Amino acid sequence: MLENKGRTELSSLGEFGLIKHLTQHFEIVNESTIKGVGDDAAVIDHKDMVTLVSTDMLVEGVHFDLSYMPMKHLGYKVVTVNLSDICAMNAMPKQITVAIAMSSRFSVEAIEELYSGILAACTNYKVDLVGGDTTTSHSGLIISVTSIGEAKKEDVVYRNTAQEKDLICVSGDLGGAYMGLQLLEREKSVFKENPNVQPDLDGNDYILERQLKPEARIDIPILLKGLGVKPNAMIDVSDGLASELFHICTQSEVGCELYEDKIPLDPMTYDRAREFNLDPTVCALSGGEDYELLFTVPLSDYEKVNNHPDITIIGHITDKNSGMNLITKNGLSAKLKAQGWDAFAKS
Amino acid sequence: MLENKGRTELSSLGEFGLIKHLTQHFEIVNESTIKGVGDDAAVIDHKDMVTLVSTDMLVEGVHFDLSYMPMKHLGYKVVTVNLSDICAMNAMPKQITVAIAMSSRFSVEAIEELYSGILAACTNYKVDLVGGDTTTSHSGLIISVTSIGEAKKEDVVYRNTAQEKDLICVSGDLGGAYMGLQLLEREKSVFKENPNVQPDLDGNDYILERQLKPEARIDIPILLKGLGVKPNAMIDVSDGLASELFHICTQSEVGCELYEDKIPLDPMTYDRAREFNLDPTVCALSGGEDYELLFTVPLSDYEKVNNHPDITIIGHITDKNSGMNLITKNGLSAKLKAQGWDAFAKS
C-alpha cells in the first residue's frame, strides 16, 4: 500500500494499522524494557534504580515551523528536547512514549518522515519507544513526548540544591540555536516577498544544526561521573541561560555572579549576532533551545572541571541577598533578569 | 489577581505562574513519589516493583465536546481514561503527568475548572500529579496524560496470553457510556434547532454519568487478588467489547465464543437503546468508553468468579481456527467483527 511514492491518506491505514506501520522498525535495546508498544501500558523494571519521568508538548506554529523544519528533524528534536530533561537530573534516559495529534493535511508519508527522525534519536540515544497514541486534530500537528530514565537514587541532581560558593558551569556553547532561528526566519521572510530568491544559508551549518538538530547532552552525566564530580544543582538550557539560572537561584534560595566574558559562544554565533545587530551575550542569556546542561559544583571540584574542553566555568553562587548579577566585560555589575521564553507572554 | 470572578487571560499569569497556580492544591500521597512537579523530571522509586507507563492524547472536537462536557468532568475523565490502562495490566496507578495545549479562547478560570477535575481524580484514585507541560495552541484544547503505575512483576497481566478454554469475564456493565453520548448528542441538536428548548435529561443520570464521569476500575485488580484469581489476559473496554476481544484473540492467537444473552447491560441502557431504535447488544459491542475491564481466567477459577456481583462471565476462549463468534440469543453463531472506534476512519 505504501510502495507508491505519492500521498497516502491517514484514513486509509486506520489507527491500529498506522501505529503498527510506524513502530515496526523500532527495536527494544534496554534490558529494563520488559514490554514496549502493543499493550495497555509499557512495563519497565528499573530494579534498584529510581525512575525519572518528564513530559513536553510541542505545537505546530508555537514551538516549530514546518516551513523550514523538515519532519525528520522535527521527530529527532522532539525526542532530544525531552531526553534533555532526564539528563538534567544527572540520569540516563531509557524509554519514551510519543503521542501525536495531526490533521488530515498530513499524509502517511509525512508521518513516516517524523517517525524516521524519532527512530534516529532512539537509535542514537539508545532509548526504547514503549508506547503512545496517535489521533486526529482539527488543525496542525501536536506532539507530546514523555521520557523515562533511571539513576541511582543518590546520583539524582535537583535544581533547588545549589550551595553558596559553588562554581557555575555550562556544557558546550550557547546562543547558537537562537541565531540559527534568526537566520531561518530571515530567509523565510525573504522567500515570502520573492519566492524566486533561493535561501542563503551557506556557511552557517553549525548554527542551523543547533536549531534544527540539537543534541541532548547524554554524555555529560557520564563525563561528570568519570571526573568524580557530582553537581549540587543542574538544569538544561531550554529557555536561555538567564531563565535557567533564575530557576536554580530562586529554588535554591541563593544568588549568583555570572561573568559575561566567560559565557561560551561559538565564533559563528558571535559573527552572525553582530551581522543581525544583536548583542551576542543577550542571545546566550535569552535565546534558549541550546539544550546544554547548566550545573553548579563545589568549589573543591575546581581542578576537576577547569579547562575541560566540554565544560566552561561561567560564575559562582553567592548568598541570596546579593541577588543575581552579571559582571559585564567592562567590570560593571548589572542585575540579571530572567527573560526566558514564556509560552503565554503577549507578543 | 484571581479573586475577581470574571475572566482572567492566560497571558496574565505567564507559563511558570500558571503551572504554579494550577498545581498548588495537589499534594503528594504516594511514598514512591520522591519528587513531583517543579524540576526537569519527576523522581519515582518503585523499589522491587516494575513500572507501568501509558499515554493518551485527547483532542477537543475529536474525543470530547465542550458544549455538553463541563471542564471539571473533562479533567476527571482524561485522568480516568488513562489510569484505566494501568488497571488493565492488573497494576495500581500511582503517578500522572499532564500536558495541555490550549488556545487563548480559554480563560484561567476555565483551566482551573479542568484542574479541579484532575485534582478530584487524583484524590479519588490516590494518584500524584508529578509533572507536565502547559502551552498555547492555535485552536482548541488538547490534553495528553501519561500515567505511571506499579505492580509485582509476576502480577502483570498482558493482552496476548489468553489460553484456550479460559472464561471470558467483564466487570460492571457495558454500552451505558455510548447511550449517554447518544442522549447528549440528541439534546445538542434539539438545542441547535431551537435554543429555547431546555435539555430533557431527567431520569438518565446513570448513563449520563457513564459518559461524563466514567470511573477506572482500580478496584478490580484488588478484588481479583482477594479472590485468588490471576487473569491470563486483560484489557480495558475503551473502544467497545468487540474491538477489545479482537485485540485479546488476535494477539493471543486464539478464538472465542461470546454469548449475547450474557453481556451485562444496565436496564436504563437497554431501554434508551430501544427508544433510539438501536440494538442494545451492538451498543455494548461497539459503543466503547465504558472503561470496564475485560479479562480471561482459567476454567478452574469458575467458582471464584461465578455469581460475583462485580463480574460477569460472558463467554470462553476457543482455538484460533474456530474464529471469533457471537452466540446470539436465538442460539445462532455469528462472526464477530471488530467495530471499535477508529481514530482515522472515514465517516
Closest-CA distance of chain B to residue A203, Å: 34
Domain that holds residue A197: 167-335
Averaged pLDDT in 10-residue chunks for chain A of 347 residues: 64 78 87 90 92 95 91 96 97 96 91 94 96 88 96 96 98 96 90 79 90 96 97 96 95 96 96 94 93 98 96 98 93 80 41
The nearest alpha carbon in chain A to B98 belongs to A55
Residue A162's alpha-carbon distances to A33, A165, A221, A243, A246, in angstroms, are 33, 9, 17, 15, 12
| Residues in a beta bridge with B235 | B294
B31 close to A (CB below 8 A): no
**Which among B269, B303, B300 is positioned nearest to B284, based on CA atoms?**
B269
pLDDT computed for residue B326 by the predictor: 93
B143 with B277, same domain: the answer is no
Give the one of A11, A159, A236 whose C-beta lies nearest to B344's C-beta: A11
Helical axes A176-193 vs A267-275, angle rounded to 10°: 40
B254 with B139, same domain: the answer is no
pLDDT computed for residue A273 by the predictor: 95
pLDDT computed for residue A200 by the predictor: 74
B217: in domain: yes
Q: Which of residues 160-189 of A touch B (CB under 8 A)?
A: 160
For residue B30, how many C-alpha atoms fall within 13 Å in the half-sphere facing its CB? 27
- Among A98, A133, A155, give the residue marking a domain's end: A155
Binary contact (B40, A159; C-beta < 8 A): yes
A115 with A252, same domain: the answer is no
B65 with B136, same domain: the answer is yes
A10: in domain: no
Grid coordinates standing for B61? Answer: 472536537
Give the one of A44, A61, A343 whose C-beta lies nearest to B50's C-beta: A44
> In which order are the strands placed within the sheet that holds A233-236?
A233-236, A293-297, A167-171, A311-318, A255-259, A324-327, A333-335
Interface test with A, best of B146, B292, B337 (most A CBs within 10 A): B146
pLDDT computed for residue A344 by the predictor: 45
Binary contact (A35, B85; C-beta < 8 A): no
A41 close to B (CB below 8 A): yes
Per-residue confidence of chain B (347 residues) as pLDDT tens digits? 344 457 888 778 777 778 888 888 888 999 999 999 889 999 999 889 999 999 999 999 999 999 889 999 999 999 999 999 999 999 999 999 999 999 989 998 999 999 999 999 999 999 999 998 889 898 899 999 999 999 999 999 999 999 999 999 999 999 999 999 999 999 888 888 888 777 777 889 999 999 999 999 999 999 999 999 999 999 999 999 999 999 999 999 999 999 999 999 999 999 999 999 999 999 999 999 999 999 999 999 999 999 999 999 999 999 999 999 999 999 999 998 876 444 444 33
**What total number of domains does chain A contain?**
2
| Residues in a beta bridge with B312 | B170
Contact (Cβ atoms closer than 8 angstroms) between residue B193 and residue B283: no
Binary contact (B44, A52; C-beta < 8 A): yes
Q: Which residues of B fall within a CB distance of 8 Å from A28? A: none
Q: Which of residues 63-82 of A touch B (CB under 8 A)?
A: 63
A315 with A178, same domain: the answer is yes
B102 with B148, same domain: the answer is yes
A83: in domain: yes
CATH number at residue A252: 3.90.650.10
Q: Which residues of A fall within a CB distance of 8 Å from B133? A: 55-57, 144
B295: in domain: yes
Number of other residues whose CB lies within 10 A of the CB of residue A127? 28
The nearest alpha carbon in chain B to A133 belongs to B56
B160: in domain: no
A20 with A67, same domain: the answer is yes
A56 close to B (CB below 8 A): yes
B55 three-class SS: strand
A143 with A219, same domain: the answer is no
The nearest alpha carbon in chain B to A58 belongs to B135
In sequence order, what are the residues at sequence separation of 6 or more whose Cβ sits closer than 8 angstroms to the Cβ of residue A298? A163, A165, A166, A167, A232
**Which among B124, B132, B168 is positioned nearest to B325, based on CA atoms?**
B168
A316 with A171, same domain: the answer is yes
A198 with A218, same domain: the answer is yes
Closest-CA distance of chain B to residue A9, Å: 9
A306 close to B (CB below 8 A): no
B242: in domain: yes
B104: in domain: yes
Q: Which residues of B fall within a CB distance of 8 Å from A66? A: none
A132 close to B (CB below 8 A): yes
Binary contact (A14, B342; C-beta < 8 A): yes
pLDDT computed for residue B343 by the predictor: 42
B78 three-class SS: helix
Residues A197, A203, A208, CA angle at the centre, nearest 5°?
A: 85
- Among B99, B132, B155, give the residue marking a domain's end: B155
A123-139 per-position pLDDT tens digit: 999 999 999 898 988 88
The nearest alpha carbon in chain B to A238 belongs to B40
Strands, E, within B268-328: which ranges? 293-297, 311-318, 324-327
Give the one of B46, B58, B140 whose C-beta lies nearest to A51's C-beta: B46
Contact (Cβ atoms closer than 8 angstroms) between residue B175 and residue B211: no
CATH number at residue B132: 3.30.1330.10
B92 with B187, same domain: the answer is no
- Among B155, B178, B205, give the residue marking a domain's end: B155
B283 with B191, same domain: the answer is yes
A308: in domain: yes
